[in-house]
A and B are shown apart, each in its own frame.
Chain A
Amino acid sequence: MTYQAFLIKYAEIGIKGKNRYMFEDTLVSRIAHALRPVEGQFEVYKSQGRIYVKALGPYDFDEAVDALQHVFGIAGICPLLQFPDQGFEDLCQRTVAYMGETYPDRRRTFKVMARRANKRYPLDSNEINSRVGEAVLEAFPEMRVDVHHPDVLLNIEVREQINVYSQVIPGAGGMPLGTNGRGMLLLSGGIDSPVAGYMVSRRGVWIDAVYFHAPPYTSERAKQKVVDLARIISRYTGPIRLHVVNFTDLQLHIYETCPHEELTILMRRYMMRIAQRLAEQNGCQALITGESIGQVASQTMQSLAATNDVCTLPVFRPLIAFDKQEIVDVAKRIGTFETSIQPFEDCCTIFVAKHPVTKPNLNVIRRSETHLTQADPLMEKALETVEVISVGE
């Protein structure tokens, strides 16, 4: 069966009241954008509160579905049989053929669900239901009707056109990009931070990212890995500006000045400060991290509080209550896992103390920071030398 159109189902937009048109228009443009690299020509349009994608000629079905599955705001993608009204007899014939081709094994229960938006149509919904059902049963005696738990829910919509569909391919969910501002993601080479960026972006948020590079302690390949991760999530999040901060001098200064068990906390406080400055410079309203309670020493409640202490922007931590395995599952689903586990050291793994503090005392940490006389100028220098890499189109 070749489908020439898709019906796009969206979940949360439907309840956005007067802003609904804005969300819909954004989604239409995101869909059109996502389909641009796909083989074929498409028209994306709104009609009577629905969004349709129509292929204007031959196209690659799998590629199109894959592109649509990367668009936030889509709950489901329904391949659609669409044809003009040429009488009920024609509708029945086409629907029977559709069922035969879509379910060649035939051993399914089904239920017809007709909707009649065009009230001038000669049959009402109930009549369509029963007569189409009869026609299908007559053609395929192996099929059964089950009105309570059907395997196949056969939708027939009578509008200016007739729409027939029964399959719903799951979409990425969430809200269309650009409907909820911009966030600055602290992106390392690990498993968690790309997932965190994906999850926040899924709520309609554009993403900027910051990576802390520590040459010669971290290699060009470690940096390339972060660029690769940004590119993978950018298929969902749209283009990402990756801000690469040279963190070496600041890190060495902390290393030489402060007790080593406090290194990681102090380092993370400076990372947050720098990220926050970059966020403000780039119009972001929040920071995003991949932290999860208790995962490592720097992510205990006390450590998180000590890190959070330097932030005035809200810090979103979408993975905060996730188990590692749950994070890994998402990472595998969105395709970042294989890249994340490549063995290149990042700056967090190189200067770690054997026994870092797990319950830092905020007063002690703040006092340690007063010894860092060079930290402010080094931070300014790091901010001045940021390299920006644009990823994803």
Chain B
Amino acid sequence: MSASPSPAVLTGKSGLLTAASDLFWRRPGLLLVLMLAPPLLWLGVIYIGSLIALLLQSFFSIDEFSGLIVYEFTLSTYKQLLLAANFDIILRTVVMASLVTITSAILAFPIAYYAARYAQGKWKALFYLGVMLPLWSSYLVKIYAWKLILAKEGILTWAFEKLHLSWLLDGVLSLPVIGGNSLSVSYIGTFIVFVYIWLPYMILPTQAALERVPGNLIEAAGDLGATPSQTFRTVILPLALPGIIAGSIFTFSLTLGDYIIPQIVGSSRLFIGQAVYTQQGTAGNVPLAAAFSVVPILIMALYLWAAKKKGAFDAL
């Protein structure tokens, strides 16, 4: 300790790091730019660049004789989407995505409602993990599990037999369009697997929205003479709706783009994802594949725009 009192203001430290630190303090904008540059370069250049490259290809066409891509601007590839065979694929996928979304919403609601309203302490953690574990477990393993379940010699046929309900299963399978040789090669099978895989994505946002419904609001509705079903329709459901819409973004988008599930469990009729896959792979028609993949982008853009108007993003 020297005789002089320690200075009130510290003398500047030297060194490159300190200089850099001082510079960032004086010019916070510079630090911001440095922080944002790597992620923006990665996502903005690699990812958005790839997307644009893809979109551009959809405006090219393929020469029918040589099979080579003609690099000239044309809308003829988009016109091909309207051909009956291709339009059927789009329609089929959208119908499936809608059905899967509605069913997931109905199945998810009681789970989300119970977890948000009644589960406490240990049970709450159990419900949370009970949704998170299936959500994060391997996608292919889950599909594989359903291949085991839905197989003709599998557990579901066995269960129907034990319950003496084989006639019911056979009856359902003999229905036109949705039926098939066994559940694992029918639309019903595809539908069940879609619902199973995307259900957790619906539960979590619905639960988040329900958590935010104040309990006294429900009590107030009861005090004012509403029956439980009136309370549900006029208080709980409108407040949960943004969460359900947020969940539906996932279920709808994921079903639109999936090509693995219908390939493994389902009939041979294609969905958009499979059409993209076969067009760019075996058929070698990249422009048509690109045009096909624009369809879900457009549908999702519309969907997101509508969801934003409903305030769904606050519930994510």
Whether chains A and B associate is no
* A-binding residues in B (CB < 8 A): none
